[in-house]
Amino acid sequence: MHYIFNKGQKGKPIFLLLHGTGSDERGLLPLANMLDDSYGVLSVRGNVQENGMNRYFKRLSFGQYDLEDLNYRGQELLDFLQEISKSEGFDLKDLIPVGFSNGANITIHLLLREDVNIKRSILFAPLYPLDLTDNSKDMSNLKVFLSVGDNDPMVTLEDNEYVEQLFTSRGAKVTTVHVNGHEITTDAVEKAKTWLLNH
């Protein structure tokens, strides 16, 4: 996979940056610097192409995920993370996934896996409209920062509530901020920065 890695200051966590549709591994680097420029960075480009745009998994139509590909790409990403954690000498539990849109969605997929033990995550404009009846993962050790749009043209208020509920119902500690649209705002980033300091 195409990626950028910078270990950061010794003993500091590492941001796992997962971009939105159409971006690449450089897209969220300024965001990481705003959140904490002493942290390490592992920024990964999505391996799927949709009309020439990078994504992390295929979709059949908007809001309708290709579940087979989602599972395949989720495993592919986890395999990559396990390999690079060994070669670069860090622990996966020290990663803090920071995802926007499609990157936030693949992050949720990872966090729902029983074999992933990540403690903190920051998600901007997430959408995960899947039936999780069969998933009962204990997320009581997870803290999540959500930035959701009240007038997001791509994610409904019900979709926002569903994402929040999928975490809280599994015991995760969720902090939610509200923005207008499908975006990363300066105010939300400042609140995420404060959240990091307090968690």
Q: Which of 23, 101, 121, 147 is catalytic?
A: 101
Q: Does residue 37 carry a catalytic annotation? A: no
User: What is the DSSP track for the chain?
Assistant: --EEEE--STT--EEEEEPPTT--TTTTHHHHHHHHTTSEEEEE--SEEETTEEESS-EEETTEE-HHHHHHHHHHHHHHHHHHHHHHT--GGGEEEEEETHHHHHHHHHHTSTT----EEEEES-------TT-----TT-EEEEEEETT-SSS-HHHHHHHHHHHHTTT-EEEEEEESSSS--HHHHHHHHHHHHH-
Q: Does residue 152 carry a catalytic annotation? A: yes
Hey, which residues are catalytic here?
Answer: 101, 152, 182
